[in-house]
Amino acid sequence: MRFYFRSKKALISVITIMIVSAVGLSVGTTALLSTLGETQLESRHAFSRQTFFAAEACLEEALMNRHQDQNYAGGSFAFGNVSCGIMVTASAQNQSLIQVLATHPQGFTRHLEATVDWGSEPRLILWTELAQ
C-alpha cells in the first residue's frame, strides 16, 4: 500500500511533527526518570536521618538508665519504626563504654559509641559514629 501526499509541504510537515514528537517524548521521559531518581534519593536520605536520630535517642536513653542504675548493661528499644540495641560495658575506673546499633526496616543502620566518666557528675569523654 502506498501513501501519497498532495504536496511536499504536507510530507515535510508530517515528518517534522514526528521528529518534534519523538524529541518531546525523549525529554519528557528523561525528566520523569530524573524526578523519580531524586525522589528515591530524598527518601533514602530521610530514612538515614531517621535512623541516626533514633540512635542518638537510644544513646540518651542508655545514659539516663546507666545514671540511675550502675548495673545497667543495656537492652533493646524502639523509636518509631527504628529498633536499637544498647550495650554498656565498664571500660575503666568510673567509666563506661556505651554502644548503640540502630536499625531501620529499610536496611539503614547507625552505630554510635560514647565513653562516659561517672565521677561526681557524669561527663561525656568521647562520642563517635562508627563507619558502617
Q: Which of 3.30.1180.20, 1.10.3720.10, 3.40.50.261, 3.30.1300.30 is the CATH number of 8-130?
A: 3.30.1300.30
Q: Under DSSP, is residue 81 helix (H, G, I), strand (E, B) or coil?
A: coil
Residue 80, Ramachandran bin (φ over 0: left; ψ between -120 and 50: alpha; else beta): left
Prediction pTM value: 0.68
pLDDT in tens, 60-117: 999 899 888 888 899 998 888 899 999 999 877 889 999 999 999 988 999 999 999 9
For the chain, domain boundaries: 8-130
pLDDT in tens, 15-38: 888 888 888 888 887 777 777 667
51 burial type by CB count under 10 A (0-12 exposed, 13-18 middle, 19+ buried): buried
